[in-house]
Amino acid sequence: MFDPYKLQLDDLKDRDPKYLETIFSIGNGHFGSRATDPLKPTHDGGTVINGFYESSPIIYGEQAYGYAKNHQTIINLPDLRSIQIAEGDGQFFATEQLISQTLNLKTGIMTTESTLTSPSGHRIRLALQAILGQHRQQAAAFRYTLTALNFSGPVRMAKQLWLDAADTQSDDPRLARSVQTLNFTHSANESGQQVVVTTDRSQLQAGIKIDAPAKWELTLDESISNSFDVLAAVGPIVDAAVAYPELALPESFDILAEDAQTYWNKTWANGNVEITGDDALAQGIHYNLFQLNSSAGRDGLTNIAAKGVSGTGYEGHYFWDTEMYMLPYFTLTNPTIARSLLAYRYHVLPAAKKRARELGVDHGALFAWRTINGEEASAYYPAGTAQYHINGDIAYAIGQYFAATGDFAFMRDMGFEILLETAKFWANFGSWFTVHGESHFGFFDVTRPDEYTAIVDNNFYTNKIAQHNLQLVVAVARAFEKAGQAIPLGVTESDLTELARIAKGIYLPVDDALKIHPQDDSFLKKPRWPFATTPKDKYPLLLHFHPLTIYRYQVNKQADTLLADYLFPDSISDSQTQRDYAYYEPVTTHDSSLSRAIFSAVAARLGMAGKAYAYFTDTARMDLVDLQGNAADGLHLANLGGSWLSIITGFAGVKYTGAQLSVTNHLPEQWESLAFIINYQGRVLKFTLTHGTTIASLEFGEPIDVVIDGHQRVIS
């Protein structure tokens, strides 16, 4: 019987080993383990620690002031799964056939079964179970079960903290560069091994410890299973100048499995999504939420990399992906993790202030477009640093978190300062100008979310998100006053008045002829991309055409103006959004994995059921069908969060402010029902949507007013 909380090898068409390493990877926010063949470790497999990186200088053909100075590349550490098995005479077993792989989404246990064969023809069945601690985030455990199929006798085991430092340089900007500047300190005794890895340039170190000796021997009897466990600890990231701490191994495989089980029980209880009527999509959303939880940093010092901890793609960098596509899930299901993810941005705020000064803005902060340590690591500033909208994206996420939680302590300690510093940046970065005799405030030479158009004036999305950032400072200041608290950081009434004045003046035009929001001042003047004569094998465009070729045309990599329409439904009418959708959909390639989820959610809100469902089916199983063609390099984490957004904000029509939560039923006709759980204002609420009916129940907390399908109801 099909179980939508398990992923099986037979559920996938692709059998490429690198792809399977990604899909069956497991993580806990601190580190991840790719699902490698344990007898054949590769440079693509191994252990990835969130935030553990090495720096290297960016070499430019022509240098200029303010360019990003250093690459930051996440490090692939020794593979915890790898093992060598040899016959008594020294001949090694190799994997003959992969029999099965299973990822249990309710327990977090990943199981691999395979048959092994030796040159002499002896065969063994190997079952490997892997589990990572979720509360004990440094811990991992691996259970190996060997069954001799056609012989009896001794086998020699060898388990070493092995690393392939092969050079894997590529012209694909989505891949990580190889790291050659690592130092390894290895120690071993009869009870176990430890390796400490130190980086030359970033001066960080991290360690791995296992309780297995380098070599030992077992005696196998035909058809009788023999099991042994290997316990591991993957240590914290520390400064290279200090002595590395002693790593604590877990007590046992079973105790660690209980740790993980407790975590996953709570995760599903507080944020599950259940689809009735399509098992494949139900499995897809469960898988996506499992991997989203597996990749989120929980310590306030790390975030969510573009590939999570499932691989080294995009060099382990953090982007706007977190705040726009992934953090909304945690805000409404696990506010503690959401707070930690936002705390990371506060942690790197000093670097953001410094970056603003480098860009010639004397006040405020500008967050790095791609980074690990807070410093800009994008070597191509037109599609990197120029995406100033990241400031507004972070501010928007803080506003949503505050609206959902009412967490005044966070706002006073961290959130309000981020809002204020990003607002100061907008106020000092933008300029007043005149259009048709009216004074407006705008932003020049910016790059929008759609990276297929760069360095333009008055991108609609950027202007809208900046306006919201400025308005949010005023709104939160008033919330402090209403709560009887002083406005933090000495902000005065005149400060708020000036921010409100700028926000009101921000340029947000509608084209007179087309009645749509122009994506920027020049977009509508350009010719459309020649889609009819572009072969399918030339997508994504960024890998086949010079950026300057792409920039000359009307072509979108992903949702841009439509993303603004999605984020601000209370200030942009449905009729306006409908016109924008009709215009921009035909020029959007969806070359970015971030795109389809927004098109799905907006279509659902507008009643375009067919489009909404078609785009959603692509998001729900994007990596499980390898829609983007590069899942081997790591999962598309933003899309994982985007699939949840498609369901919750699209099909369920969830919208909220600090004062009001609303749900609007857009259940697809293909489903029998949809049920989901969210956390809002200290309540745990469950909603069940069927055709024509929306039922709400309060699982925890005080009664609350909720607008359901246009009618206000008290849920108690």
Tokens 């907008």 sit on residue: 426
CB 459 within 8 A of CB 465: no
Q: Tell me the C-alpha distance between 518 and 432, whole Å.
A: 19
CB 621 within 8 A of CB 630: no
Per the structure block, which two tokens stand in for 390? 């990241």
435, containing H or E segment: strand 431-435
Q: Tell me the C-alpha distance between 566 and 650, whole Å.
A: 10
Which residue type, as a one-letter code, is found at position 389? H
Q: Tell me the C-alpha distance between 75 and 79, whole Å.
A: 12
Closest Cα to residue 74, out of 297, 351, 314?
314
Please state the separation of Cα 525 from the chain's center in Å.
35
Angstrom distances, CA of residue 483 to CA of 478, 499, 596: 9, 22, 40
Q: Tell me the C-alpha distance between 529 and 526, whole Å.
A: 9
Beta strands in 34-181 (DSSP E): 47-57, 70-77, 84-87, 94-104, 110-117, 123-132, 139-148, 153-158
Tokens 């380098």 sit on residue: 214
Q: Tell me the C-alpha distance between 291 and 631, whole Å.
A: 13
| β-strands 661-663, 704-708 pairing | parallel
Q: How many helices (H) and strands (E) does the chain have?
A: 18, 27
Q: Residue 237, SS3?
A: coil
CB 26 within 8 A of CB 290: no
Active site residue 251: no
CB 150 within 8 A of CB 122: yes
- What does the radius of gyration of the chain's CA atoms come to, in whole angstroms? 26
Q: Residue 291, SS3?
A: helix
CB 66 within 8 A of CB 358: yes
Count of Cβ atoms closer than 10 Å to residue 44 Cβ: 20
Per the structure block, which two tokens stand in for 43? 């440079």
**Residues whose CB is less than 8 angstroms from the CB of residue 497 and which lie 6 or more positions away in sequence, other chains included:** none
Count of residues making up the chain: 716
CB 261 within 8 A of CB 253: no
Closest Cα to residue 413, out of 361, 339, 352?
339
Q: Catalytic residue among 21, 54, 323, 451, which?
A: 451
| β-strands 123-132, 683-690 pairing | unpaired
Q: What is the DSSP string of 419-463?
A: HHHHHHHHHHH-EEEEETTEEEEE--SB--SSTTS-SBS--HHHH
Residues annotated as part of the active site: 451
